[in-house]
Amino acid sequence: MKYLICNLKAHKDYFDMVIYRDNLRDFHYPNLELIVAPQTAYLSLFMHDNLSLCTQNLDLYQDKCLTGNTSLKALKSLNVKYVLVGHYERRKYYKETETDLITKINLALTNNLKVIYCVGETIEELKRKVDFQILEKSIARILNNVPSNLLSNIIIAYEPTYLIGHNTTHDIKKITENINFIKDLINNYYEGQVKVVYGGNITPENITNFLDIPNLDGFIIGNACLNPANLAKIIYNMTNEER
């Protein structure tokens, strides 16, 4: 089973999203779990479709019914299965700390929601050749604070931050090395089968460059999933039995 996670961010209004949803209903994806993460306002549009639903955020203060928050109870009533945690944009603009991320992850896991946890180095860290250390720190500090029996409910989304939203050339060799490093770290030090997906400027044209990475369990995509035609091509490339 492979995973394809579509992070729609804050794109599309209600009417565009209805058309988008209707297009997805025509898709077929054998041996692929399609995970869609729309804005909170549009989660209900997808609750009965043949896909897995993901929320882009989880509010920290679940013990209080605070104005503007969305409760776990509300999310689960919409058949939400996954929670996106630690995305670079939320770390950068909302100043989310590792303490915040640990709290969110444990809230999700203890309430039977699976977690997509985002990690990735900056271009400065890559140039200083400390990307392994950054990845190990980002992963270990989280997994060390999660019950071992729940680790298999986490997907690690490796997204080099300098590739998010940028048309930058990929270094396939380096990306493969970092994916292997993450897999080895998890296999050597943690119990449970944690999946690893990759994201960062994935398109229908370049996704075939990544399909033969042996330790890769799928992809997380942003801009490329906004156009249903592009998404259909990506799904076809991932599920084509001739590969």
- Pairing assessment for the beta strands 80-85 and 114-119 based on DSSP bridges: parallel
Record the tokens describing residue 153, joined without a space.
């409910």
Tell me, what amino acid is at 132?
F
Q: Write down the catalytic residue from 87, 96, 121, 125.
A: 87
Rounded to the nearest 10 degrees, how much is the dihedral formed by the CA atoms of 167, 172, 178, 181? 160
Q: Which H or E element spans position 7? A: strand 2-7
Name the amino acid, one letter, at 179.
I
Q: Which of 11, 136, 159, 166 is catalytic?
A: 159
Cβ neighbours of residue 110 closer than 8 Å, sequence gap 6 or more: 150
**Residue 123 corresponds to which tokens in the numbers above?**
């271009």
Size (the chain), residues:
243
E strand residue ranges, 99-200: 114-119, 154-158, 195-198
**In 10 A of CB 199, how many CB atoms?**
24
CA–CA dist 111, 109 (Å, integer): 5
Compute the distance between CA of residue 223 and CA of residue 22 in angstroms, rounded to an integer.
Answer: 19
Confirm whether 159 is a catalytic residue. yes
Q: Which residues are known to be catalytic? A: 87, 159
